[in-house]
Structure 1
């Protein structure tokens, strides 16, 4: 252990060491089982073609928008806020712009550690945020708006990813190198 390191323990088992984030002890929950039915429906629609605009139900009389999107190269371009509002309204509503479909897919597959890492890139305390967030993404969830049932429990999913992920420390690469300067606290 480095003698000058400052450790801060957060209530949800997340540790911060200098500029390095560590994943430590966690709480247990079985709440993720409640997420399976809506996630199964979402992932089945996404698995058919990942480039399809999933905001509308497929219609056999419509052109193949996924193929058109791939041909135009739009699928590989960064998405603007209008694209997000139309296709992934939950992500557009999220103040942290968390990549919600990505981590829901990993949770459904049982890859809680991968889901946690996806969340960790977008916000530094995903387990804490999964407990205190006001959930602006859930009212924006198109599965609740389009008559497909209840909105997905996105906040609970984030919490489950934090609770059920790996117990091994997660070391992130620092964004910036050392400046060589010291700071007194």
Structure 2
């Protein structure tokens, strides 16, 4: 299962718990990238730029999105490149878009200092701009859409588990 969605929508938190519940492996593409670059994405982003980061992200998504009994939490911008969307849509993969409004995300991320694209004067405006750009791409790649809104993590994990069960993939 591959989880896509805006920064702060719950991909890593819910994905980790879902994988534990299912006995599957969990992979966070951003954590893998940070391991590869030997530091934080934020610092790399500032030093090397977004394009260079997206190149590394593309290689990571290609490698990590192989079908199997795993949950992959992708970075919020992973859908921006066509190659990433194609890798996610490989036969055997199931992509879930965890959808949250910019307003809900703003509440969740108001104290976050690690997401480079949100280190701006008006983070809500930035989230709205990112949402307008990315929502159609998330929908394009998704097999399922789950609104996270103000959903608790346990409820979100149950919703994801039910989607897997409905798709015949949970066992």
TM-score range, shorter chain: under 0.3
Which is strand-richer, 1 or 2? 2
Which structure's relative contact order is higher, taking Cα pairs within 8 Å and 6+ residues apart? 2
Instruction: Determine which structure has more spread, i.e. the larger CA radius of gyration.
Output: 1
Q: TM-score, normalised by structure 2?
A: 0.27
